[in-house]
Amino acid sequence: MLDFPEGVEVFTVTAGEEPLRLVFLVTRTREGIIVQLLGGDKPHVGAIVLSLPRPSRSVPEERRTTTTVLPLYGHQDDEVARPVAEELARKSGQPVVVVAGIHIDQASAADIERIKLYTQEGLRLLLQNFF
């Protein structure tokens, strides 16, 4: 068992079915959240997203985010990483970093849509069980 400092929690959530199953490996600290979102044939680093919560300028009781996206050239992993980072930052009020890498050889349009659905399912499970 890993010995984490006080205030650090690590947990996982899975969503979907093989070969499109996604794994969310989450590290929650008192000051922020780190998510690794991996899946497919070749899990990798495909995009990094940082989302910072802030009050809405027009509706102060609402929380918005400022987000920076760093995709690797030719990768589209930011399309699933960004909504996860933004929603977790809004709900938690903490900075969130998502590192995503999901690769399916010869992915069809239907595969990509299922990956997006599985991402939303995983996010829902995270919010329901841990936030």
- Write out the two tokens for 19: 């070969």
- Residue 1's pLDDT band, with cuts at 50, 70 and 90, is low
Flag whether 2 is in a domain: no
Flag whether 49 is in a domain: yes
Number of domains in the chain: 1
Per DSSP, 4 falls in state P
Give the predicted TM-score (pTM) of the model.
0.93
Pairing, β 63-71 against β 47-55: antiparallel
Dihedrals phi, psi of 29, to nearest 5 degrees: -115, 180
The CATH number that applies at residue 74 is 3.30.230.100
Percent share of the chain, pLDDT over 70: 99
* pLDDT of 67 strictly over 60: yes
Question: What's the average model confidence in pLDDT over 39-43?
Answer: 92
**Any idea which residue has 């010995």 for tokens?**
3
- Residue 39's pLDDT band, with cuts at 50, 70 and 90, is very high
- Please give the residue range of the domain that contains residue 35: 9-130
Flag whether 62 is in a domain: yes
Flag whether 65 is in a domain: yes
